[in-house]
Structure 1
Amino acid sequence: MTATQRPGVIDCLVNVHFGETAKQPEFMLKVRDDYFKGPRSLYDPVELPALLDEMDEHGVARAILMDNLAKPSVTARKFVAARPDRFSLAMGGINLLRPVPALRELAALSVDLPVTYAVVGPSFWGDGMYPPSDAVYYPLYAKCAELELPLCVNTGLPGPPIPGEVQNPIHLDRVCVRFPELKLCMIHGADPWWDVAIRLMIKYANLRLMTSAWSPKRLPESLLHYMRTRGKNKIIFASDWPVLRQSRVVPEAQALDLPVDMLDNYLYNNADEFFFGGGRQQKGSAL
């Protein structure tokens, strides 16, 4: 592949819904001010032309926008309707304590909308009481495997001051044993358990890791070594925009000490294969 034919970037986690909330929860303000030290405008509403301009400037061909079953994002669905060639959805907000109606809705939306993956954050619901190995997740795992819908699970200590032990990737060990058919991706890195995450990916063919919310220049050398060796198809790029802007993280990623083919895998090919491979995404309409 020549330089002019390089595939560009897929940004696998973009938040356009923050501006829909008149008053952010206290923990979100703490994340902005204390953890990421972001500007006060971080959670302002976003306009479609501005996002497309940033994507075009940095070669981002497609972005996956966060959505929510319990509180649908008007902005995300509007952007998908306007530009189905550039956007698809990641669906969270799944009530695991009342799984049957929630999973029926997830299945229906996966037919009607371009839902690329489902997502759950163990620290962010149930007061952080349920690790991913708990049976409360099993209906979700079974339904995603049945739908051939990838599932992303937050791993690593979360930024907000909430319990984090449930996001230790070791809890996915039993999940991968019991659900080998499930396409599973750890998101938001795995700090401070990077080596556990890497060992699990070596062990299980169905497991990936997304570096959303991580500045590429801050990624540990152990992960970069894995990307150069046994993990060529395992690590997936994402920004967590606007927490980290594409204007920052795409150039940082392109500056990593990775061979060109492995950098293309990280920025585009691995996501294209894992999330969009086999034409599954085309089953959904644009709205």
Structure 2
Amino acid sequence: MIIDAWSQHPTLRHTRDPIFDSLRRWTKAAVPTEELPVAMTVAAMDQGNVDRSLICAWVGPRNVMISNDEVAGFVAQAPDRLVGVGSVDIGKPMAAVREVRRCVEELGFRAIRVLPWLWELPPTDRRFYPVYTACAELGVPFCTQIGHTGPLMPSEVGRPIYLDQVALDFPELTIVGGHIGYPWTDEAIAVATKHENVHIDTSAYTVKRYPAALVDFMRGHGRRKVLFGTNYPMILPAKALDGIDTLELDDEARSLFLGGNALRVFKLPPAGA
């Protein structure tokens, strides 16, 4: 089983947002003129042999690019393939807590994601802490971004070392740091090694771009710590996985990376359940 730990089925508000203009210089992706069908995302998964994708909402201080209810609607169209990940407005603490509960208890989402760079706040900021508390109480992972930002926003808030303090304050909370943490990958590995409930996902990077330190971690004591991700539609699953044999993972490490770790971390039912 292959599970994509970070993707999104985009809305036009998401794909057209000028905050992503700097990324388009590299991806050269055409900007859609009409809403994309969920079938397109499922077809991309099929092409890359991805069984399930966790698709996320995008909520920031300026706007809502993909709402939680939109994510729920996408999941409803392909419930055996798509898994919802919610997001919340951390600037409104009580409303954020209520929305976390609604996402998990009513919409059936398996995680909550908030991006520090979108808020220009480090994950140690007090505005994150009610969300951590709610996620810990509900037993769902908190997902975030670590590493530099492709959009022209400050990268400092993505330093993986910030998660060290969060994990110390919330040892019960499962944390998944997406985008590898580059150029601070060693920091990400150190924090994931130190804390039982801290993990890394490889979204936004193709196999060929994984840092050597991360590959060594995946082969050894970090085999239960790293989850496969794409950041689709930025990277198609087939492209993200191209060259996976070059990682030289043994059967256990490969199985855990591609799907086993995500099954455990997000408490997903096994295939066919």
Q: TM-score, normalised by structure 1?
A: 0.86
Residue equivalent to 1:24: 16
Which of these residues, 152, 166, 188, is aligned with residue 161 of structure 1? 152
Whether 1:11 aligns to 2:4 is: yes
1:126-275 to 2 correspondences below 5 Å: 128=120, 130-275=121-266
For 1:44 and 1:29, the matched residues in 2 are separated by: 18
Q: What is the match of residue 80 of structure 2?
A: 85
Q: Is the 8 Å Cα contact of residues 9 and 74 (structure 2) preserved in structure 1?
A: no
Task: Indicate how the Cα distance of structure 1 residues 39 and 199 shifts in structure 2: closer, same or farther if over 3 A, else same.
Answer: same
Q: How far is the alpha carbon of 1:121 from its aligned partner?
A: 0.9
Structure 1 unpaired stretches of 5+: 1-7, 283-287
The aligned amino acid for 1:67 is A
Check conservation: 1:122, 1:153, Cα contact below 8 A: yes
Give the AA of the match of 2:117.
Answer: S
Q: How far has the Cα of 1:256 moved from its partner?
A: 2.4
Counterpart of 1:111 in structure 2 is 105
Kept in 2: contact 1:211–1:239 (CA 8 A): yes
State which of 105, 115, 125 in structure 2 corresponds to 1:121: 115
Q: RMSD of aligned C-alpha atoms? A: 2.2
Which residue identity lines up with residue 242 of structure 2 in the other structure?
Answer: P
The CA deviation at 1:29 is 1.7
1:86 aligned partner, one-letter code: R
Match of 2:42 in 1: 52
Distance in 2 (alpha carbons) for counterparts of 1:176 and 1:192: 21
Shift of 1:153: 1.5
Q: Which residue of 2 aligns with 1:64?
A: 54
> What is the CA–CA distance in structure 1 between the aligned matches of 2:200 and 2:14, rounded to whole Å?
33
Residue range with higher mean Cα deviation, 245-254 or 95-104: 245-254
> 1:90 is paired with a residue of what secondary structure?
strand
Provide the aligned length of Structure 1 versus Structure 2. 266
- In structure 2, list runs of 5 or more residues that go unmatched: none
CA distance in 2, matches of 1:66, 1:102: 16
Asked if the contact 1:16–1:45 (Cα under 8 Å) also holds between the matched residues in 2, the reply is: no
Q: How far apart in 2 are the matches of 1:22 and 1:156?
A: 21
